[in-house]
Chain A
Amino acid sequence: MQSAHDPSLSSYYVNDALYRELIDSFSDWQRDDLVIDDPGERDCLRLLVEREARLLDQLRFDEWLTMYAPECIYWVPGTPEAGDPRREIAISFDDRRRMEDRIYRLRTGYAWSQAPKSRTVRMISNIEAFAADQSGVRMVRSNFLISEFRVDGTRFLSGWCGHRFVRNGAGWQIRFRQVNLIDCDQNLRNPSIII
């Protein structure tokens, strides 16, 4: 439900109900009985995940933000089980304002971890779409491999994403995105790009 507050300016929507919805969304969702068989719908969702990857590779952050619902979460858990973000630190846990902060910081010119900027290309594959508890909600699992070049070499970040899409008119918006790095619980060098 949309609140009266502008989520770019204040954070009222990150509350107990949201945390519960988030945890429930990513519990027991990759079930064979929920797989979306319709190739048209699956293709539509796949194109959105691929578009997001391209926008991030091209640093087109304003367009990237428009793919998200106004009240959204970008979550990179610090453990393979993801855990409960009310009790655990995540690698990143951004509401809309913090996503915008993240972009603002990268654009100041003083974010030394991204000066010079990383060059990235993302491979997205193994896309599966699932129905969810509510109609008008779709969950999508995808695998990713990010090649990241910066300063002295190229490295790889890999893992899988869970997207929670919600209906927005004829299309879909991202309500939550959970990014699961395979080495999320290990010490990472310079995790300063949006993954």
Chain B
Amino acid sequence: MLERLSAAPARVEGAIGHYDWDELVQEDRVHRLIYTDPAIFAAEMTHIFGAVWVYLGHESQIPSNDDFITVRMGLRPLILLRDANGRIRALFNRCAHRGTTLCRKEKGSARFFQCPYHGWSFLNSGKLRAVPWPDGYACDFKDAKFNVAQVPRVDSYRGFIFATLNPDAPSLLEYLGPIAKPIDEWLDRQPGGKIAVCEANRLRYKGNWKLAYDNSGDGYHVVFSHRSLLEMENRQADIANKGMSYYKGSPDNAPMYMAYMGHGHHFKDKRPNIEKRAGGLWAVEGPHPGMEHYAQALRRRFGGKAEEILDLASSEPVNINVFPNFSLLGNHIQVFEPLAVDETNVTWYGTAVVDEQGALGGAVDEVNALRMRTQEQFPNFGEVDDLANFEEIQRGLACQEDEWVYMHRGLGIPGRVKTHDDGIITAPATDEAFMREYIKEWKRLMKASPNLVVAREP
């Protein structure tokens, strides 16, 4: 049962009615306020992190009935769970009585949740199970309003769980649109087309969440922001071609490209830079703990077939960015989590190979032992430098009179940015076209008046 929300003035936390969005977001630049204004941030929590499909988690994190994890959708605390009947639900982590969070654990298994404050308890379908001493109430608690509120639309795409509070949003499949293809390819390189989510490198920075999303497809920053990483991983290489070395020299002439795919999604495809052969990916991996041992052991055991097994431990050279908070890059699932206008969590979930059909001939443990180490590299030696730069952007943007942030690389150069028949826009790897396009979509969403709803069990 869907529940309409109260009239707008009762829930608007920042008045943004007077903003001139076309002034703030222009063709070649955006105003600093979109990164610094608390009222804009408050509006984003509904217009973006409520009105579009927001990534919540992966099905492998709640494999069995009654399993749950606690997550956020914008600022809302949620319990993402598989209920007693196996249905995936996103409950507001909020007691229907006084607003207390019902669940304080990060993960677990529970058939029902009892509020620690006054003892109301709820089934994991969200339905009220019991209240203590009901004879003290005139009502009989049959009204649906006493069931826990939940996100009305929850859907998965091949294991990735998304949700929206917007009944007018397109289906998840329509929302993903053409970006579903790179997601498919990312999954289909794994045995059985599946991964399992494991632990994460969890980072936080003092800066606006969009600085991370701006960066997620940015090929321009790589050799500068990640100079220490590139120097480090090539310090002992015979040929300095490890990691993202293909960004050195003239990256715009390399075969990699950026693609804008609609609804704010964009894709940086670096695969064309890699030699197309088994072992091509492994050949450009920098040094990792255990790599020589496991490569030697796998080659002894599997001969030529070892190369494709080693590729599974290698970082897939893509950045698949689904607006507003989900990114597949390397073998990670990266999730952006806004906390405040100037504070953001960036969580890099590792993924492990699962080999249910035994396609790897028993090598799955070796692959994962290597894959864990390759995945730790970038958060340790690359991401920390980006986050330091995002923090320094946020600091720089305190200069109120210097208003503009530019994203015009590639704009106005004939033939550089191409719009294809299917609407996909492509450009060279260091181009900022994807930034201009996604921020246009952001502007459209901020101008809109989404009618968000919650659901409750009848």
User: Chain A 85-121 against B: per-residue CB contact (8 Å), 1 yes, 0 no?
Assistant: 1111111111101100110111011111101000000
A101 touching B233, Cβ below 8 Å: yes
B204 touching A189, Cβ below 8 Å: yes
Among residues of A, the one whose C-beta sits closest to the C-beta of B395 is: A152
Bound Cα distance A108, B280 (Å): 29
A88 touching B369, Cβ below 8 Å: no
| B411: min CB distance to chain A, Å | 27
Among residues of B, the one whose C-beta sits closest to the C-beta of A85 is: B372
Given A12-B292, A101-B233 in contact, is the A93-B199 Cβ separation under 8 Å? no
Bound Cα distance A31, B233 (Å): 41
Taking CB atoms, residues of chain B closer than 8 Å to A108 are 227-228, 231-232
B388 touching A87, Cβ below 8 Å: no
Among residues of B, the one whose C-beta sits closest to the C-beta of A96 is: B289
* A145-195 at interface with B (beta carbon < 8 Å): 185-192
Q: Which of A87, A111, A192 is B368 in contact with, Cβ under 8 Å?
A: A87
Taking CB atoms, residues of chain A closer than 8 Å to B288 are 11, 98
Q: Which of B201, B203, B289 is A14 in contact with, Cβ under 8 Å?
A: B289
Bound Cα distance A10, B352 (Å): 24
* B351-376 at interface with A (beta carbon < 8 Å): 352, 365, 368-369, 372-373, 375-376
Among residues of A, the one whose C-beta sits closest to the C-beta of B369 is: A86
A15 touching B384, Cβ below 8 Å: no
| B102: min CB distance to chain A, Å | 21
User: Chain B 188-209 against A: per-residue CB contact (8 Å), 1 yes, 0 no?
Assistant: 0000000000111111111000
Among residues of B, the one whose C-beta sits closest to the C-beta of A77 is: B199
A101 touching B381, Cβ below 8 Å: yes
Taking CB atoms, residues of chain A closer than 8 Å to B217 are none
* B368-403 at interface with A (beta carbon < 8 Å): 368-369, 372-373, 375-376, 380-381, 384-385, 387-389, 392
Taking CB atoms, residues of chain A closer than 8 Å to B271 are none
* B72-115 at interface with A (beta carbon < 8 Å): 106
A98 touching B384, Cβ below 8 Å: no
Question: Cβ of B236 < 8 Å from any Cβ of A?
Answer: yes
B204 touching A188, Cβ below 8 Å: yes
B385 touching A113, Cβ below 8 Å: yes
| A18: min CB distance to chain B, Å | 8
Taking CB atoms, residues of chain A closer than 8 Å to B297 are 15
| B124: min CB distance to chain A, Å | 24
A89 touching B365, Cβ below 8 Å: no
B372 touching A93, Cβ below 8 Å: yes
B384 touching A113, Cβ below 8 Å: yes
Bound Cα distance A32, B235 (Å): 46
Bound Cα distance A89, B332 (Å): 11
Q: Which of A83, A105, A113 is B231 in contact with, Cβ under 8 Å?
A: A105
Bound Cα distance A5, B385 (Å): 32
A91 touching B227, Cβ below 8 Å: no
How many contacting A-B pairs (Cβ < 8 A)? Answer: 139
Question: Cβ of B458 < 8 Å from any Cβ of A?
Answer: no
Bound Cα distance A13, B293 (Å): 7
Taking CB atoms, residues of chain A closer than 8 Å to B373 are 14, 93
Taking CB atoms, residues of chain A closer than 8 Å to B381 are 101-102, 105
Instruction: Report the interface size for chain A: residues with CB under 8 A from the other chain.
Output: 46
Interface-central residue, A89, A98, A105, by most chain B CB under 10 Å: A89
Taking CB atoms, residues of chain A closer than 8 Å to B369 are 16, 19, 85-87
Given A95-B290, A112-B385 in contact, is the A105-B228 Cβ separation under 8 Å? yes
B199 touching A78, Cβ below 8 Å: yes
Among residues of A, the one whose C-beta sits closest to the C-beta of B229 is: A105
Question: Cβ of B291 < 8 Å from any Cβ of A?
Answer: yes
Question: Cβ of A47 < 8 Å from any Cβ of B?
Answer: no
Q: Which of A83, A94, A102, A115 is B199 in contact with, Cβ under 8 Å?
A: A83
* B327-366 at interface with A (beta carbon < 8 Å): 337, 345-348, 350, 352, 365
| A6: min CB distance to chain B, Å | 11
Given A89-B372, A104-B232 in contact, is the A12-B387 Cβ separation under 8 Å? no
Taking CB atoms, residues of chain A closer than 8 Å to B204 are 187-189
Bound Cα distance A102, B278 (Å): 30
User: Chain A 1-31 against B: per-residue CB contact (8 Å), 1 yes, 0 no?
Assistant: 0000100011111111001000000000000
Question: Cβ of B64 < 8 Å from any Cβ of A?
Answer: no
* A52-109 at interface with B (beta carbon < 8 Å): 78-79, 83, 85-95, 97-98, 101-102, 104-106, 108-109
B198 touching A98, Cβ below 8 Å: no
Taking CB atoms, residues of chain B closer than 8 Å to A186 are 202
Taking CB atoms, residues of chain B closer than 8 Å to A112 are 225, 228, 385, 388-389, 392
B290 touching A14, Cβ below 8 Å: yes
A89 touching B233, Cβ below 8 Å: no
Taking CB atoms, residues of chain A closer than 8 Å to B21 are none
Bound Cα distance A39, B27 (Å): 72
Bound Cα distance A23, B176 (Å): 42
Q: List 13 A-B contacts (CB under 8 A).
A: A87-B352, A87-B369, A90-B372, A92-B376, A93-B373, A105-B232, A105-B381, A112-B228, A113-B384, A187-B202, A187-B347, A189-B203, A189-B206
* Residue positions of A touching B, CB distance < 8 A: 5, 9-16, 19, 78-79, 83, 85-95, 97-98, 101-102, 104-106, 108-113, 115, 185-192
* Residue positions of B touching A, CB distance < 8 A: 106, 198-206, 225, 227-229, 231-233, 235-236, 287-294, 296-297, 337, 345-348, 350, 352, 365, 368-369, 372-373, 375-376, 380-381, 384-385, 387-389, 392
Given contacts A86-B365, A113-B388, 14 further A-B pairs with CB under 8 A are A5-B292, A14-B293, A16-B369, A78-B201, A78-B202, A79-B199, A83-B199, A89-B201, A101-B381, A108-B227, A108-B231, A112-B385, A187-B337, A190-B205
Query: Which 5 pairs show the lowest CB-CB distances between chains A and B?
Result: A14-B290, A89-B350, A113-B384, A95-B289, A110-B227
